């Protein structure tokens, strides 16, 4: 398949959408200081709409960025039966972006460990993360870029709230548990529906995530359906919820680890001077007159 097969027809609508997404991604990168001079950024490319969009926008921003940084696209071939291994290399070569395909048979491991009919996503994601972190450590990667978007973050908030009893979502920028890797999510301000529109307009050669035959995460599917219903009834609600994650008031929650409730003490009002008492009496008299 030639590179021309991936080139969409020019469209003013697509150009406007592209400009909007670049602006949102650029603002997110700036707000969280995600990319700095001479960073070596690894873009984790799964073959889905989100990671294609992430790479495409970062390549666009790289050309006009105020600081120089490198991009390398990395895909993990997990050896699922039927995985179209030629698709990503065929797409990436004409772009001129360095890329690497890690080959690791995590599929067999997951199928052996997880009972038939259960979702494979949890263990699969942990094994995938381990492989990507190892590659990052061995190749001088300073930032690991993931394709999670605004809807992913809000869905994760409700998953943790409803099923985990925690007020927790996905941070746009975080340090890995071992303290060795900085993970960034430049699409954190971007709505999934806009990514879907952009991916269609750019005609990305999508690879389905159902090759493993795993059932969809039913809890996430239920939360996604709930948020979609809310969005139909109250347009903009998802954006409002995400905004709330950026305006947290620890003193109005109930976690003593993040606010010193035990140390709260009242203070007696300072005594008024004679002049202040006279002024207060005068004001009261004037109000009653």
Residue 4: pLDDT above 70?
Answer: no
Does the pLDDT of residue 253 top 80, yes or no?
Answer: yes
Does 102 reside within a domain? yes
Are 35 and 143 in contact by the 8 Å Cβ rule? The answer is yes
Report if residue 272 sits inside a domain: no
Query: Which tens digits make up the pLDDT trace of 77-132?
Result: 877 777 888 999 999 999 999 999 988 776 777 666 666 656 656 656 777 788 89
| Whole-number Å distance between alpha carbons of 133 and 112 | 23
Residue 4: inside a domain, yes or no? no
Question: How far apart, in whole angstroms, are the C-alpha atoms of residue 230 and residue 2?
Answer: 42
Structural domain contains residue 51: yes
Structural domain contains residue 183? yes
pLDDT at 133 over 50: yes
**How many domains are there within the chain?**
1
Q: Tens digits of per-residue pLDDT, 147-186?
A: 999 999 999 999 999 999 999 999 999 999 889 999 999 9
Paired tokens of 217: 């995460």
Give the domain extent around 226: 10-252
Domain assignment present for 64: yes
Does residue 5 or residue 25 have the better pLDDT? Answer: 25
Assess whether pLDDT exceeds 90 at residue 6.
no
CA 270/CA 4 separation, integer angstroms: 77
User: Edge-to-edge, what's the strand order for the sheet holding 99-103?
Assistant: 99-103, 70-77, 40-44, 143-145, 182-184, 173-175
What sign results for the dihedral spanned by CA atoms 47, 50, 52, 58? negative
User: Is residue 96 one of the residues assigned to a domain?
Assistant: yes
- Tell me the pLDDT band of 288, cut-offs 50, 70 and 90: confident
For the chain, what percent of residues have pLDDT higher than 90? Answer: 65
CATH at 65: 3.40.50.620
**pLDDT value of residue 124:** 63
Is residue 231 within 8 A of residue 193, CB to CB? The reply is no
pLDDT at 2: 47
Query: Strands 173-175, 70-77: parallel, antiparallel or unpaired by DSSP?
Result: unpaired
Question: If you average pLDDT over every residue of the chain, what do you get?
Answer: 88
Query: Taking the model in full, what pTM does it have?
Result: 0.84
Q: What secondary structure, in 3-state letters, does the chain show?
A: CCHHHHCCCCCHHHHHHHHHHHHHHHHHHHHCCCCCCCCEEEEECCCCHHHHHHHHHHHHHHHHCCCCCEEEEEEEECCCCCCCCCHHHHHHHHHCCCEEEEECCHHHHHHHHCCCCCCCHHHHHHHHHHHHHHHHHHCCCCEEECCCCHHHHHHHHHHHHHHHCCCCCCCCEEECCCCCCEEECCCCCCCHHHHHHHHHHHCCCCCCCCCCCCCCCHHHHHHHHHHHHHHHHCCCHHHHHHHHHCCCCHHHCCCCCCCCCCCCCCCCCCCCCHHHHHHHHHHHHHHHC
Region 13-40 average pLDDT: 97
Query: What is the phi/psi pair of residue 83, to 5°?
Result: -65, 125
pLDDT, average across residues 3-25: 80
Q: Identify the residue whose tokens are 């495409």.
A: 56
Confirm whether 281 is domain-assigned: no
Ranked by mean pLDDT, which of 19-28, 74-83, 219-228 comes out on top? 19-28
| Cβ count near 125 (within 10 Å) | 12
- 46 pLDDT exceeds 70? yes
Residues 6+ apart with CB under 8 A from 230: 237, 238
Tokens for 19? Answer: 């400009």
């Amino acid at each position: 398949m030639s590179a021309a097969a991936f080139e969409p027809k020019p469209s003013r609508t697509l150009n406007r959408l592209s400009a909007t997404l670049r602006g949102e991604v650029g603002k997110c990168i700036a707000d969280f200081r995600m990319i700095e001079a001479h960073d070596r950024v690894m873009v984790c490319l799964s073959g889905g709409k989100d990671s294609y969009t992430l790479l495409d926008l970062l390549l666009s921003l790289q050309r006009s960025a105020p600081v120089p940084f490198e991009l390398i696209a990395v895909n993990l071939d997990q050896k699922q039966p039927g995985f179209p291994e030629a698709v990503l290399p065929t797409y990436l070569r004409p772009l001129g972006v360095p890329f690497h395909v890690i080959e690791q048979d995590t599929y067999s491991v997951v199928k052996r460990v997880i009972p038939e009919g259960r979702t494979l996503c949890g263990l699969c994601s942990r094994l995938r993360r381990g492989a990507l972190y190892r590659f990052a450590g061995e190749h001088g990667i300073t930032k690991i870029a993931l394709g999670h978007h605004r809807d992913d973050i809000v869905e994760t908030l409700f998953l943790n709230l409803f099923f985990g009893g925690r007020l927790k979502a996905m941070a746009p920028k975080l340090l890995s548990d071992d303290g060795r890797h900085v993970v960034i999510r430049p699409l954190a301000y971007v709505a999934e529906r806009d990514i879907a529109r952009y991916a269609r307009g750019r005609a990305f050669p999508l690879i389905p995530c159902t090759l493993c035959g795993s059932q969809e995460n039913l809890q996430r599917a239920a939360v996604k359906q709930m948020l979609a219903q809310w969005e139909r009834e109250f347009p903009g609600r998802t954006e409002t919820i995400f905004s709330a994650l950026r305006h947290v008031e620890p003193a109005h929650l109930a976690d003593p680890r993040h606010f010193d409730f035990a140390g709260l003490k009242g203070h007696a009002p300072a005594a008024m001077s004679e002049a202040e008492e006279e002024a207060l009496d005068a004001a009261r008299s004037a109000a009653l007159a």
